[in-house]
Chain A
Amino acid sequence: MRILRLAGRRLAASIPTLALILIGVFLLLQFAPGDTVDAMMAQMGGGDAATAKQLREFYGLDLSIPAQLGNYLWRLIRLDLGFSSIYGKPVASVILERLPPTILLMTASLSFAFFFGIVFGVIAARGVNRWPDTLISILGLIFYATPSFWFGLMAIVVFSIYLQWLPAGGFENIGLVQSGIWRTLDIARHLVLPTLTLGLIFLAIYLRIMRASMLEVLNLDYVRTARAKGLDETRIVIRHVLRNALLPMVTLIGLQAGTMLGGSVVVESVFSLPGLGRLAYESVVQRDLNTLLGIVFVSALLVIIVNFAVDLVYARLDPRIAAEG
């Protein structure tokens, strides 16, 4: 309960942050050339000034900027994100439709990067300054420097065009109507390359942090005690070292949540996945500013939620944190 209260307090502290972001981006978008009505008029194939004026009145765009901001925030409290003129639907439902692929992709990439980051980090730390360590460290540096969209394209060339093992894009095979396990497998097949592409840079970061944190913990006194006690090395690593070495990794998840969401914009565009990131890109290209503002809200919210979860996990891994709070 104590943990929950502690994390809850931090969650409450992020509400002003969220408000700050929304007000900032709202004001920023006022500088954008053209508004929703301009976009709608363009879609309708033009119209006279009187119609534009009417529409602006209807959407409350003729009010002063502070009044518009107030209206927007008031609607937001009731979870109303406004209306997307491009999609002809409320922004909230457009975003909700696009959320599952992104969350799936992020979870998969995070698990991939986290798991292999631990494995490679442990292997590198165990053989520090020998060839496995050198090899893993070099690979990590190269992965870090690889632009994700380029890796995605090259993966498509190799695995989809030449070897024809995996699909080049899309979320599922629309040609076949599938259900249950087959649909799940189909989606999984479509997500293999995007997951690797998005996860690569995080794998590089995680393995580096894991290696460093392993090296630090391996030199602590209690590990020497465990060795002196006669425990074998594998047992020491798994039971004693790993738990403590994991702490910085967990912190990193919270710090990287935003970066990962940003990365999914690019990866979803490469693999034409119908996710939140692609929606962000489309709304920039189509000047759908209402949707863009909605995405800003939802992505900030996602980052806050991830950080809340990280706080909970952290307190579980390190009981001292809950006790001190």
Chain B
Amino acid sequence: MPTPILPRRNFLQGCSYAIASMAGARLTNLSFAEQNNSADTMVVVFLRGGWDALNVVPPLQGDDRGIYEQARPDIKISELLQLNDQFGLHPALAPLHDLYQAGNMGIVHAVGLDHDTRSHFDAQEFIELGTPGSKSTTSGWITRYLQGVGASSILPVLSTSGQPTSLLNFTPTVSLSTPEDFSQWDNGLVASQQKALRQLYSGDSLLHRAGTRTLDALNVVSPLVEAEYQPSNGASYNDDEFGQQLKTVAQMIKLETGLRVAAVDYGGWDTHEYETDGNGGYIAELLGNLASGLSNFYLDLDSGYTNRLSVVVISEFGRRLVQNESYGTDHGHGSVMFTLGGNVNGGQVFGNWPGLNNDQLYDHADLAVTTDYRQVLSELMTARLGNPNIESVFPGFSGNYNPLGIYR
């Protein structure tokens, strides 16, 4: 089968800088598969490093406010955005406060891992495997969720930063940062090369299947490069990695190819020193980016997609109540989670507040965990994702399942 040869040399001469070289197949007509059921697209935003829950959602008043201020004389947050009688939100999260007030965001406090660890890597692994205490699990919790519901679509799972442990052993995951970056460089022979690659990657190993998946994804994604993406409702994404990743997810959701899960990582939360500068400083910048990204993402998708959208924001643990000598906080325990979406019973802080008295703290040091993170995810799966089989996703947990009423 002869392949027409392009005027390649002319092209090459004009393009000595190779990053300039690309042009995947363009799609002019295509029919996307209908999404095969009404489950939400779940977007999991994992804040790596252990975010300081007590500075994200600090106590607003009362005894606990006093304990908080005493424990953190140099890094306490003031001028909070009121959430209810008890808690406020860090002022850098103002855009999320709007979503909270509009009923599209809920907060779960004193939530986390029911396992004794202050190690980042253990805690992340336990959370993402969905089996606290056991690292021998061979699949991630999202993998097991998808096994339960099936995921027969072109692009069921998108990860914007490699393959997180929550998707361990889920081979159809497509990882890409932005559609612009996700294109195969074309030397004029790319069609012929791709044909060969189909053959070369037709085996059954992890690597073979990832290669095949890459070729499939190129077909889906390359047309997106052609037209500049215009977010809806005047939404505007920051030019940082987090903003660009969320923009990519929004584009994929709007493609309606049946995207079920997107995993987005946002790192840098390990605030051992110089955490704040008044209400500004390092953590305020992180939170500002988080809020800007999520609120614009929500605004962008509030064009007919938010009723089938569930965003979860999670981190591996919170941090110590008492600040350290470097104006930071060390690894702690209880954390806070955010849930966003059109079907969230928003405007509420869920969970039981354990208090900040010394005898109420975990190990006399950290915010205690009163809500297992699996409660939140189990409720999400049951109410919004079409998988009520909690036991298969979180083995050994279903007996403790006790929904908080986060979702409609």
Same complex: no
> Hey, which bits of chain A sit against chain B, CB under 8 A?
none
Using a CB–CB distance below 8 Å, which chain B residues touch chain A?
none
